[in-house]
Amino acid sequence: MTPEDVKNAAITGYGIMVAEAHRFEKKCPSVMAALYVPTQDGGVLAVASSIKGPQGSQLTEFYCSSQHKHGNCAEMNAFALVERRQMDCRNSFVAAYGSTRHGVRFLDPCRDEDNRWGCASFCTQNSITALTKRSRIEGLLTIDVGQEKRESDDIGASVRV
């Protein structure tokens, strides 16, 4: 799976999520994240969404026991899915795609605020490449952390794997 495939998975997941929300007249999550973890058996793609609201789903002890417990964004929900499977997500690729005040687009990882850890910190600490609209797909990949603040207060998750 290439970085471009991961970005396409985020876009496709977002489209399916929006269509299903409209079909069942449910509140639509605003961000979809796709996380690709290369493994010995071909790799795992975890896809998770994030909805607006006061609570996070806290899928595993991952949230409660780590310094990243405030990162209830779509990316952190995808990381939690992988953690639940007891997989190491180092050297992975993650892409978040969703709606903001400025339209639908790829989003940068959440930055640290108010002494809380954002998913940008988690990506940096675990050598996870965040694929954004400015990431170079061909050749060397870059992490574009903090160029653009996520413009939603998304918390929670509905999960697809």
User: What's the pLDDT score for residue 56?
Assistant: 43
Number of domains making up the chain:
1
User: What's the pLDDT score for residue 3?
Assistant: 87
Q: Are 111 and 132 in contact (CB under 8 A)?
A: no
Please give the residue range of the domain that contains residue 107: 3-160
Extract the runs of DSSP E, i.e. beta strands, from 8-50: 31-37, 44-50
User: What's the pLDDT score for residue 116?
Assistant: 57
Whether this model's pTM surpasses 0.85: no
pLDDT block averages, 10 residues each, the chain of length 161 = 88 89 85 83 72 41 45 74 80 87 84 65 84 53 34 34 32
Q: What are 119's two structure tokens?
A: 């998913």
Name the residue with tokens 């605003």: 30
User: What's the pLDDT score for residue 117?
Assistant: 61
Task: For residues 79 and 46, give the distance between their C-alpha atoms in angstroms, rounded to a whole number.
Answer: 8
> Domain with 129 in it: what CATH number?
3.40.140
